[in-house]
Amino acid sequence: MEIVNFKLIYDGKGPLIWNGAANDFGLQDKEGNLAKGSPGAGSTLIFEFSLEVKSNTSDAPVFVGLFCHGSPKERFLYLSWRNLQGNFAQRLKLPLNGISSIDVQTAISQQATIVGLLNDHNPRVTTTGANIGGSRMMHWEVT
């Protein structure tokens, strides 16, 4: 397996209803731990991490690693906010299926990074006051 470097840039407001602190927000691993981001330009947060690629044939790549969730054909990342009580206030599901085998091969051969930008400036809540999480469209590119 080969390693692919990633950078996720989060540009958003976060959930409308949340009583957590700065360390209660981050990229969620398989055990539910949150990896903090680093300050980026403006009010963005940068999450840098690596994943292994299990399959890099003409089919879609299969990523594995600490931050991968979902079935092999539908891998995704979770960007999560935890309340002071320890429950998740909101989780955003960030699909990795927009990354092609060509992107992966380019990143590996050029020792480049696959970068995704998440713009999330319109957080919403349900009529009962729950944050609306779910999937967010991602655009990934090799830089």
DSSP state of 73: G
Residue 131: what pLDDT? 87
Q: Mean pLDDT score of the chain, rounded to an integer?
A: 93
Instruction: Check if the beta carbon of residue 15 is closer than 8 Å to that of residue 81.
Output: yes
Residue 57: what pLDDT? 63
- Whole-angstrom Cα distance, residue 39 to residue 9? 10
- Name the percent of the chain lying above pLDDT 70: 97
Judged against a pLDDT cut of 80, whether residue 49 lies above it is answered with yes
Assign 37 a pLDDT band (cuts: 50, 70, 90): very high
Give the best-scoring range by mean pLDDT among 2-6, 55-59, 83-87, 98-102. 2-6
Residue 132: what pLDDT? 87
Q: Which of 78, 109, 62, 81 is nearest to 15 (CA)?
A: 81
Judged against a pLDDT cut of 70, whether residue 63 lies above it is answered with yes
Encode 1-28: b = buried (16+ Cβ within 10 Å), e = exposed: eeebebbbbbebebbeebebeeebbbbb
Listed range (30-34, 54-58, 68-72, 139-143) with the worst mean pLDDT: 54-58
Mean pLDDT on 118-141: 89
Which tens digit of pLDDT belongs to each residue from 66-93? 999 999 989 999 999 999 999 999 999 9
Instruction: Check if the beta carbon of residue 113 is closer than 8 Å to that of residue 6.
Output: yes
**127 or 139, greater pLDDT:** 139
